[in-house]
Structure 1
Amino acid sequence: MVEEIPVLFPPDSSNSSNSSISFFQTLIDEAELQDTNTSSKKHYLCRHRESGHEALMVDYFVEEPKYNENIFCHRFRMSKRLFLKIVSNVEANNPWFEEGVDVRMKKSFTPLQKVTLAIKQLATGNPPDENDEYLYMAERTSRECLEYFCETVCKIYAPKFLCRPTSL
């Protein structure tokens, strides 16, 4: 049995460019009709933001954390004191990092979670979705954290730390 190959162009398409245009327009119209049949509602995935914050606190920021200062320095490539100073400065200079509520009136990610994710991406070079299981943050939000963090850090620290080297 010979399998038929679908014809992309109508038989008379070689004679007229109009028939090719109408053929492709028909294909586009059919594709648009199929797209309208699918649901356009966004699917919400509960990410348990509070659990991510609690895990972060227990691991690094409570009085007796799970991981000591040396492990913190290894994972974040800086001291905990410097890290907390950066979190404080970023939160004070960019309203996006302030804690608030989202459109569903649920508590948003904390500044600590947002900055942690941005610094972890910079320190390790891992992709944005790497820490989804740990901090419960979607890839898109993770990417936004990195983008806003870099923008804010440059705004805050560039005048002082990104200057021309002095001659000896």
Structure 2
Amino acid sequence: MAAEKSLFQRELEDSLSDDDDCLIMSAAAIVETYSNKKGRHGGSVPGHKVIYRDREGGHQRMFQDYLADDPTYGPNLFRQRYRMSQDLFVRITNDVESYDDYFVQKMSAANVLGLSCFQKVTAAFRMLTYGVPADATDEYVRIEEITVIESLRRFIAAVVDLFEEEYLRYHNEADTTRLLVFGEQNGFLGML
């Protein structure tokens, strides 16, 4: 160890046991901890294993499966798996992408194309619709757990901000009447 005592050690030795000294020692410990990391920037974590997920290929496969002109899985399977029509999904995805820059596909500093809005929104929907854990989306959507959690958090915030007034409100008399007529026309009222 260095012969010169650190600020934290000097404060510790000179301190009285009152709250002010405790606060000073805590602040000194934080300053000492972070001052030892000068020059350290964000980015790569030493020892962190990078997994090549083929994000672009994942997006292309998902797009071909559901959104292409001649998709592998047609509109009925889209509705079954996403619990909504393809048109509604695309509208929500476009609105969320326009609202929050996080959902816009970008190039990284390493010149690697990032995740698409489709991938981030699909991961969020899988968690919401099926209760899938965040790490279970990696194999198909090609997105890691921490990104899924951030996508879900930002997706929910965007949906609430965008659609709260129109869709996330208490029903009114016009809504009730419209639903009753719809139910009567489609034979749902006889089921009650």
Q: With structure 2 as the length reference, what TM-score do the two structures score?
A: 0.64
- Aligned equivalents of 1:115, 1:56: Cα separation in 2: 12
- Aligned equivalents of 2:74, 2:90: Cα separation in 1: 15
Please state whether the residue corresponding to 1:74 is helix, strand or coil: helix
Q: Which stretches of structure 1, 4 residues or longer, exceed 3 Å deviation after superposition?
A: none
Q: Which residue of 1 aligns with 2:163?
A: 157
Q: Which amino acid aligns with 1:52?
A: G
Q: Which residue of 2 aligns with 1:11?
A: none
Q: Which residue of 1 aligns with 2:149?
A: 143
Please, what is the CA RMSD of the aligned residues?
1.7
Q: Can you give the 5+ residue segments of structure 1 that lack an aligned partner in the other structure?
A: 1-38
1:165 CA displacement: 3.2
1:57 CA displacement: 1.1
- Aligned equivalents of 2:104, 2:84: Cα separation in 1: 23
Please state whether the residue corresponding to 2:143 is helix, strand or coil: coil
1:163 CA displacement: 2.4
1:52 CA displacement: 0.6
Q: With structure 1 as the length reference, what TM-score do the two structures score?
A: 0.72
Structure 2 residue 109 is the aligned partner of structure 1 residue 103: yes
Structure 2 residue 77 is the aligned partner of structure 1 residue 71: yes
- Aligned equivalents of 2:126, 2:46: Cα separation in 1: 34
Larger RCO, structures 1/2 (Cα 8 Å, 6+ apart):
1
Structure 2 residue 37 is the aligned partner of structure 1 residue 46: no
Q: Which amino acid aligns with 1:74?
A: Q
Q: Can you give the 5+ residue segments of structure 2 that lack an aligned partner in the other structure?
A: 1-44, 177-192
Which of 82, 86, 90 is the matching residue for 2:92?
Answer: 86
